[in-house]
Amino acid sequence: MKLTVKLEYACRALAQLAKRFEQADVSSIEELASVERIPAKYLAQILSELRNGGLVESRRGKQGGYLLAKAPDQVTLYEVVALIEGDMISENAKSVGDSGEAVAKAWSEIQERFEESARGITLADLAVGESQEMYYI
């Protein structure tokens, strides 16, 4: 499985919005693009898709921008993957040929494990703050 750039950018943008959720801060595309080093035009398309999928909300006007539609602990990585790359989590192995059934079963198990793992990770998990390393002298 290969992580697409689109999915990576969506996860990074959502993680950034999750960091700002408690303060109800609205983030502009330019700000998100700068902080996460994502091309602004591509990010605009991704945010539009996330908005249409109900994961983010947009505010218009001079102080407008984007914010999460739900609390970060209520949005799973599975939801993001399903919205951005729906076909990534679909089974596509065929049960043909002498080994087809065994191969299809293996891929089905991998898909189930992936889905289980992705359902167990939320945006709150992705929204980790700066590393707070402690140094003792």
Look up the CATH number of the domain holding residue 85: 1.10.10.10
Asked if residue 31 belongs to a domain, the reply is yes
Asked if residue 81 belongs to a domain, the reply is yes
Asked if residue 21 belongs to a domain, the reply is yes
Q: Which helix (H) or strand (E) holds 66?
A: strand 65-68
Asked if residue 82 belongs to a domain, the reply is yes
Contacts of 128 (CB under 8 A, 6+ apart): none
Distance of CA 65 to the CA centre of its chain: 18
Q: Which residue has the higher pLDDT, 25 or 36?
A: 36
Contacts of 57 (CB under 8 A, 6+ apart): 51, 66, 67, 68, 69
| Torsion angle (degrees, nearest 10) of CA 94, 99, 103, 104 | 30
Q: Name the residue range of residue 28's domain.
A: 5-126
Per-residue confidence (pLDDT) for residue 133, from 0 to 100: 46
Q: Which residue has the higher pLDDT, 94 or 24?
A: 24
Asked if residue 134 belongs to a domain, the reply is no
Asked if residue 70 belongs to a domain, the reply is yes
Find the angle CA(72)-CA(84)-CA(117) to the nearest 5 degrees: 60
- pLDDT mean over 110-133: 82
Residue 76, beta-bridge partner list: 122
The chain-wide mean pLDDT, for the chain, equals: 87
What confidence tier does 25 reach under pLDDT thresholds 50, 70, 90?
A: confident
**Model pTM?**
0.83
What confidence tier does 42 reach under pLDDT thresholds 50, 70, 90?
A: very high
Asked if residue 132 belongs to a domain, the reply is no
* C-alpha Rg value of the chain to the nearest Å: 18
Our count of domains for the chain comes to 1
Q: Which residue has the higher pLDDT, 101 or 72?
A: 72
Asked if residue 40 belongs to a domain, the reply is yes
